Amino acid sequence: MKKAPFDIEEITGQFGFTGDFTGYEKIDNGHINSTFVLFFEKDGKTEKFVLQKINTSVFTDPEKLMDNIVGVTEHIRGKAEKSCAYANRCTLTFLPCKSGRYFYRDANGGCWRVYVYIDDVYTCNIIDSAEVFCNAGIAFGDFQNILADFDISRLNETIPKFHDTVSRFEDLKKAVVENRSGRLSLVRDEVDFALSREPYAHTLVDMIKSGELPLRVTHNDTKLNNILFDNTSNKGICIIDLDTVMPGLSLYDFGDSIRFGANTAAEDEKDLSKVSLSLELFEAYTKGYLQSAGQALCALEKEYLTFSAMLMTYECGIRFLTDYLNGDTYFKTDYPEHNLVRCRTQFALVKDMEKKERQMKEITEKYC
């Protein structure tokens, strides 16, 4: 067996594994944490666990991070135990270590956590049908509905101002003034586009301040591959990658799902003629989401569903533009214009949504 990039004896001792360790696999689809599947043999059966090394450069306070995750997963499990026969598959189950905490810090400062592997599931990286996207909407709607009564004061803000669009807008204005990369002359049209839509940035933030919109548990990374789909039923049964769970607006999660999933082109498509909002996919996701989350949402949350899709796309675009002006210091890029290409794709999608806003509203009203 090849030497593992972790001390299995130390990990086993900390998390109380029983049985014989027989090997591991590295999972490469994550961008932040290092993830491994561990295999143990016990009484002739194979037990599997997921071991993750938390990226403490991104998540600087693992105590608060795991408080959020464990609080949310225990709440979901408590509801599931009363309503379904497979409660152990409805959410992730994290193991405490010897100290009672849900992470262990090794002698080198590495921060490790473990949860039970869920079998007989699959994930999707692309949306190949409206049915798949509808099931995704149901899954994220369930997540919102189940956590609607969660005490939001228990959650920590692990990444400050993550979806504070006013703050993101101010970051852009600062980047324009400083022009660290010397690229400002290349993006005059994009800057004008972003600045002309400043009211977008204030709309939901102002409604939070006025108390019109409630803060809820938000996932903040509602991509398709953060859902485990059951092999047999094809239903989304478990939401994963909970590191960005924080207080926020349900509209952030809905809008980001549409931004990511209903775009007819890739996020870095250079041919902007290929970029548009698929009304078919928008309807599929909206139908599924409102089917499962609708009763938990207030009237204003439903009213602003269409706007949230435009806002989250706009926010993503100004973040790419800001990073381009700052010299590509945040997002990983493959070539010098990568962030600019991403920005243009997002702004092209915003324009298309603005053209289709009436149709989008008709769809949301239909399912409300």
Q: State pLDDT tens for residues 85-96.
A: 678 899 999 999
Percentage of the chain beyond pLDDT 70 is: 98
pLDDT at 313: 98
Task: Give the separation between CA 80 and CA 337, rounded to whole angstroms.
Answer: 47
pLDDT bracket for residue 28 (50, 70, 90): confident
pLDDT bracket for residue 33 (50, 70, 90): confident
pLDDT at 30: 61
Domain spanning 8-118, CATH class = alpha beta
Residues of the chain with CATH 3.30.200.20: 8-118
pLDDT at 85: 66
CB contact at 8 A, 147 and 155: no
pLDDT digits (tens, 9 = 90+) for 297-355: 999 999 999 999 999 999 999 999 999 999 999 888 999 999 999 999 999 999 999 99
Residues of the chain with CATH 3.90.1200.10: 130-367
Q: Which amino acid is at 104?
A: Y
pLDDT digits (tens, 9 = 90+) for 268-313: 999 999 999 999 999 999 999 999 998 999 999 999 999 999 999 9
Which architecture does CATH list for 130-367?
Alpha-Beta Complex (3.90)
Judging by beta carbons within 10 Å of its beta carbon (0-12, 13-18, 19+), is residue 252 exposed, middle or buried? buried
Residue 104: beta bridge partners? Answer: 112
pLDDT at 1: 56
pLDDT at 5: 84
126-133: average pLDDT: 90
Task: Give the separation between CA 65 and CA 224, rounded to whole angstroms.
Answer: 22
pLDDT at 139: 96
pLDDT at 207: 97
Percentage of the chain beyond pLDDT 90 is: 86
pLDDT digits (tens, 9 = 90+) for 132-181: 999 999 999 999 999 999 999 999 998 889 999 999 999 999 999 999 99
pLDDT at 164: 95
DSSP 99: T
pLDDT at 284: 98
Q: Which residues contact 236 (CB under 8 A, 6 or more apart)?
A: 135, 136, 138, 139, 140, 142, 227, 228, 229, 230
pLDDT at 361: 98
pLDDT bracket for residue 58 (50, 70, 90): confident
